[in-house]
Amino acid sequence: MDTAERLIESTRELLWERGYVGTSPRAIQQRAGVGQGSMYHHFGGKPDLALAAIRRTAEELRARAEAQLGAPGPAVGRITAYLRRERDVLRGCPVGRLTQDPDVMANPTLRRPVEETFDWLRTRIAEVLAQGRAAGELADPLDPVATAATVVAVLQGGYVLARAADSAEPFGQAVDGVLGLLAAHATTTTTSSTTG
């Protein structure tokens, strides 16, 4: 891993652990094992480095989500795979946690990749739900856009509940609940084929 990559990865970890204010240039340099000159050779300063780290985290989140959402199979099955994939629940979502960082949210440049990621996620889940509805897997009254927003809100809220309880159990309950709501919109054909 070259110096720039080490700096980006170290900043990503520190942002997740400490937030923007707690991620000092010195902490980044120490974690990356580089000197001050190396950091400023590659990046104009902490904001530039934080932006690169946030963009990288956002790209990784999208790629991991697309692995399940873009897979073959029924819509609810793909969303189930996405929601149930292995996560470090008690650490929270690395992108979602940035929304709780006032310094990131106050900076339009740093906030943009966070906003774009959640826009993308809601849109992508809505597309999957619309595909399921078009294929007759989900009943017509289901609103893909509103339901996608609900899925993302439940996922992010599940992280918050888990962290507050210091247990992954509330996260699992939240996922079970939203999947139960989706199952209630599944057509009879889909329900019988998935249970049989």
Q: What tens digit of pLDDT does each residue of 36-66 get?
A: 888 888 898 889 999 999 999 999 999 999 9
Of 192, 166, 180, 196, the closest CA to residue 83 belongs to 180
Q: Between helices 75-84 and 46-69, what is the axis angle to 10°?
A: 140
State mean pLDDT over 132-146: 93
Percent of the chain at pLDDT exceeding 90: 79
Is the pLDDT confidence value at 196 over 70? Answer: no
The rounded distance, in Å, linking the Cα atoms of 188 and 181 is: 15
pLDDT of residue 44: 87
pLDDT of residue 140: 83
pLDDT band at 127 (very low <50, low <70, confident <90, very high): very high
Q: Are 25 and 39 in contact (CB under 8 A)?
A: yes
pLDDT of residue 150: 97
Tell me the pLDDT of the chain averaged across its residues.
92
pLDDT band at 1 (very low <50, low <70, confident <90, very high): low
pLDDT band at 191 (very low <50, low <70, confident <90, very high): very low
pLDDT of residue 130: 96
- 57-195 has which fold? Tetracycline Repressor; domain 2 (1.10.357)
Q: What is the dihedral of CA 63, 68, 71, 73, to 10 degrees?
A: -160
State mean pLDDT over 83-101: 93
Is the pLDDT confidence value at 192 over 60? Answer: no
pLDDT of residue 189: 53
The rounded distance, in Å, linking the Cα atoms of 78 and 137 is: 12
Is the pLDDT confidence value at 193 over 50? Answer: no
The rounded distance, in Å, linking the Cα atoms of 32 and 35 is: 9
